[in-house]
Copies of this chain bind each other. A is one copy, B any other.
Amino acid sequence: MALAIAAGERVRGTTSPNPPVGCVILDASGELVGTGGTRPPGQAHAEVVALAEAGDRARGGTAVVTLEPCAHQGRTPPCADALLRAGVARVVHAVADPNPRAAGGADALRAAGVVVESGLGALEVERGPLRAWLHHARTGRPHVTWKYASSLDGRIAAADGTSRWISSPESRAEVHELRTKVDAIMVGRGTVLADDPRLTARGTSAGRQPLRVVVGRGDLPGDAHVLDDEAETVHLRTHDPDVVLAELGRRGVVDVLLEGGPTLAGAFARADRLDRVLAYLAPKFLGAGPSALRDAGVSTVTGAVGLVVEDVRMCGPDVRVSAVKSAR
């Protein structure tokens, strides 16, 4: 399953609105004979890619896959059928497909005599490559990760407005890597005016760039970096997070990285649309300057936006905290 998860992770950011599934095929003796990740929309799913590599050796073998194989005819034929045709004897998947249209794969396989097991590595998959897609399948909304970098006292810039760089090169490199794995990067118009960010993934081998999204009613400067040709950009003239998410969903966006600023993050916090927070906390103190979040609709301490820390680790000299709405 670790290999299947890695195969899914490798294609993350290239499959939406389809899930970035990973699959490995073991032959009847348990030897690895095929590995696959879901191809871009309209192309082969992970199981089909892995089966193609395995060829005849899949017969009597095991398919290990991060998501329950689909049972429906979409743009590609059902994966359950492909597994049956290949003669796979056993299927192990991490998580069940919450999508009623695609679910039923496990039942179809069992009905055809295949041994089906589920749950292995489920937590790792739910927090890993399929997190956003599962959220979207369950709620109908794109998954929003709010990422910010601040000092330990929560400031994203100093009193004079300077913010380069609060976080370390290691943290910034990790964010560029993360950008290659999401469908869209979103900022408020205020951030464009203040920082003129490029919002592209740089310093990585991936050529693909996520959609750039600017939220805010007013115009953008014609020479803003986000309007250059390095990636596609959409400007949404609204302040309503649900309008933003509906429009992004319509464009096939499943995984959104909200990169600020404090006002836009506050609007998403008020609307209960921050699904995950990824905080890079530099071991610095500023004592003045804007805080990471503004106007979150909280007036008293018992009304705080409450999350659950799922992971804390160092990223270079910085503390990286990943927190989610609820424990999984």
Contacts and interface: CB of A to CB of B under 8 A. Distances in A.
Interface of A: 150-155, 157-160, 162-166, 262, 266, 269, 277, 279, 281-288, 291-309, 312-314, 317-319, 321, 323
Contact of A162 (B153, B283, B302, B318): B302
Given A160-B299, A292-B154, A287 B305 contact: yes
Given A155-B291, A266-B287, 9 more contacts: A150-B154, A154-B291, A159-B298, A159-B299, A160-B300, A165-B301, A284-B307, A287-B291, A309-B317
Top 9 nearest A-B pairs (CB, nearest first) are: A154-B154, A287-B296, A284-B304, A285-B305, A162-B301, A158-B301, A287-B293, A153-B154, A283-B307
A285 B296 contact: yes
B314 A285 contact: no
Nearest to A263: B287
B281 A285 contact: no
A327 to B, nearest CB: 10
Nearest to A282: B304
A284 B305 contact: yes
B304 A312 contact: no
Contacts of A158: 298-301, 303-304
A197 to B, nearest CB: 16
Contacts of A277: 152, 285
B295 A287 contact: yes
13 contacts: A152-B323, A158-B301, A166-B301, A262-B287, A266-B287, A284-B307, A285-B293, A287-B296, A287-B297, A287-B305, A288-B296, A309-B318, A312-B319
